[in-house]
Structure 1
Amino acid sequence: MTAAQADLQAEFLEMPDGLRIDRPEVADGAALWRIAKDSVTLDLNSSYSYLLWCRDFAGTSAVARDPEGKPVGFVTGYVRPERPHTLLVWQVAVDDAYRGRGLAGALLDGLTARVARDSEHGLRAVETTITPDNTASDRLFTSYAARHGASVEREALFDAGQFPDGSHDPEVLYRIGPLSF
């Protein structure tokens, strides 16, 4: 383990089942795409986008690895250009075999701690979008807010009619903050 990996791992003290956290690498893109595809609830992006995500947004994303180094969960995000104190969480997914063990929450806690530490602007808020029927994501982000003593504001971001394919549920924006680290 490199020194950078050890620093990152130190942020994830409550990792279940001997898992470890790392920054994603391009080689992880295919596994992230598979985990997202198998989740059934996430919008599946092109495989190309997961490769780019692992290359261009590794600093604001995290991957959980099993003892053999295989990705078993991830969270992807980016710092909003118009709001440099805000991390937008794009996707969170955990392989079916590792669900129900607190891995998604550990990934989210650790990632936001790292972004807060590494950001030149600091981190004051987390945003994400959730469809109204996604109770697992609602629980994940409301419990994150509770653990960090932050409030959650919700507002419609995109209604169903704004999606060109016509088969998408509305997306509700969750704003979590203020955060302090």
Structure 2
Amino acid sequence: MTLRTHHSRPGFTLIELIVVVSIITVIAVLSAPYIAGMAASARLRTASEAVQNRLMEAQSLAILFNTDAELRVYEAADLIDGRPTLRKLRIHTLRPPEDVTNTPATDVFEPIGAVTSLDQEIEISADATRSSIIDLGFQESASDIYGRYIALRFHSDGSPALQPARPWFLTLHEKDAQLRDSKLKNFVTVQIDAATGRLRTFQP
């Protein structure tokens, strides 16, 4: 008769499990800000790309249709606290004037495509020191249901309707970042060349 020998398998003791869980917890706590920062940076890049794409699209449509086109940046209420934020974008093109009554023709812009909404956690700074486009001033149109806006206009040759010899830019940052800290740490600035409309970005 053959006797079978049973070897007991070593297991984790309670103390060892506590140590392992504690180590994992410490690593998670230490890495959380880094992971959150990476996620915020990714959202900022995505939002800045959306803004750049809409700007280039407005410029292209102006050239294609041989007319003025503009990208409107709307001041919309935040869904959480109702605070006005710059987060919605839409392209408009200038409709040719139809002067059938011999009255002075006025610029009539028609929307092209749908509204682009940036990530709920990202906004365009309304501080003129961080977004010089604020100096263009807000406009309102009775036919525009999205409220007041800032218009970045391009002429039929693709050149932007911006005052030369001064920098034009807008800065995207995390929601309420300017309220938490006077110095932004995580942002993307999109610069618009006043002569050519070329875009450049800067992200620290």
TM-score bin, normalised by smaller chain: under 0.3
TM-score, normalised with respect to structure 1: 0.28
Higher helix fraction (1 or 2): 1
User: TM-score, normalising length from structure 2?
Assistant: 0.25
